[in-house]
Amino acid sequence: MALSTLVATVLCTIVLPVLLFLVAVKLWEVYLIRGRDPSCPRPLPPGSMGLPFIGETLQLLLQRRKFLRMKRQKYGYIYRTHLFGNPTVRVTGAENVRQILLGEHRLVSVQWPASVRTILGSDTLSNVHGALHKSKKKAIMRAFSRDALEQYIPVIQEEVRAAVQEWLQRDSCVLVYPEMKRLMFRIAMRILLGFDPEQIRTDEQQLVEAFEEMIKNLFSLPIDVPFSGLYRGLKARNLIHSKIEENIRKKVEEQSDGTGCKHRDALQQLIDSSKNSAEPFSMQAIKESATELLFGGHETTASTATSLIMFLGLNSEEVVRLRQELLCKEEQGMDLQNLSMEALEQLKYTGCIIKETLRINPPVPGGFRVALKTFELNGYQIPKGWNVIYSICDTHDVAEIPNKEEFQPERFMSKPSGDSSSSSPSSRFQYIPFGGGSRMCVGKEFAKVLLKIFLVEVATQCNWTLLNGPPTMKTGPTVYPVDNLPTKFTPYAPN
């Protein structure tokens, strides 16, 4: 009697719940697979849909690159999954990505996860479409014109130089990644949003912490309840919005009484564009666009600057070659203390170091789209309404180039296999750190200028040693070292 009672208890408390759970997972998989378009003869991509409702979101958030690598190894370059509340197809490989990026408005349309849209807002450049996207992009591109970039150079040099001097004066090690985020945040606040240095000093710590919290929760389950990731992200965003609104009102007042400065930062371009349009002035829309600019303008450059310190710290011979180029240009009359766009364009090998860093560690791992209609991709059907993620990091990983695991900037001195002039239509999509198509990153030239100046200042002032050796890299949402890259900086004295 006791044995039968024990068996019944085990069945009710352990076996039955496990069976019900497995049945639920299977029914969930069957339910989603029914989302395939019966009019298309092609099968769905291979893959798994994970747990009911949450899919494989938690696995992605916890494991990041490890999860993505495992899925790619198991299912190949195109596979299905369920992320952030939506059935999703993840796409890797130059030809597959080419079709996605060039299929904007025809096959796919940009659509970031619900949590990203909620936190950043619906009026951001990355979320709007059609004529509104064109007008916003046009306004922002004015702030990244060659003339505008020329004006930014002294400000960038001033901020980078001050940061480097501070690192050199520290007896203890420098945690590079947090320092890069602060440096790039100050630069973005001054150049993109027009904050003055005193204002930044007053608000910097509070704003940096708020941005950290917002970014940490940008990709979260779309559930807005107290203490959820989305709730914390929105709370942080609201603080950022309040500070940006103060600056917008100040700019509008200065413009009205004629005391505004001549410098046309990106935020001023957005204000002017909004005033000149037929639509009424929207404070919320401008705050959202400014927050997106601040995110794109400092988070990605901080990630890449950290990777630059890491790769050059691990490859001292590349620092030698970098300094040789700078010395050669100085001997030819270049003033490294007062750089210009013309001078930066002459620093070819410096640019190659940045390109190689972006190849191995692209700061943004990919982009999000939604299928506008059912279409075929490499023998599989992508059903209408499903999300499509194109992978930048995986596409770089599988690119057919020699010695791709090694850090070799010189590969970009000649035309690489991913060069746009190559004969293969898809070959240029082997290298896509800034995305591609009509949604290519609008700030890519700004990023290149900023990173070149950063390299010039660091290489001419410092030697540095990585105290922990090669770090483990993680993505969340941009690429960063889990140990924050502790580094010792010492003054560089050229022979």
Enter the DSSP assignment of 437.
G
3-state SS assignment for residue 107: coil
CB 292 within 8 A of CB 126: yes
φ and ψ at 384, to 5 degrees?
Answer: -55, 135
Element (H, E) at 148: helix 146-168
Tell me the C-alpha distance between 407 and 38, whole Å: 47
- Other Cβ atoms within 10 Å of 361 Cβ, number: 25
Enter the DSSP assignment of 12.
I
Tell me the C-alpha distance between 384 and 117, whole Å: 20
> CA gyration radius for the chain?
25
The dihedral of CA 429, 433, 439, 440: what is its sign?
negative
Question: What's the start-to-end Cα distance of the chain, in Å?
Answer: 91
- Take residue 32 and report the two structure tokens written for it: 């989603």
φ and ψ at 483, to 5 degrees?
Answer: -95, 5
Residues 399-405: contacts with CB under 8 Å, at least 24 apart: 399/94, 399/430, 399/431, 400/430, 401/430
Tell me the C-alpha distance between 362 and 443, whole Å: 15
- Listed in sequence order, the residues at least 6 apart from 346 whose beta carbon sits closer than 8 Å to its beta carbon are 329, 334
Q: Is 261 annotated as a binding residue?
A: no
CB 115 within 8 A of CB 219: yes
Site of tokens 């505008």? 148
In terms of residues, how long is the chain? 495
Tell me the C-alpha distance between 67 and 73, whole Å: 10
Tell me the C-alpha distance between 66 and 54, whole Å: 19
User: Which residues are documented as binding site?
Assistant: 441
Q: Known binding site for heme: residues?
A: 441
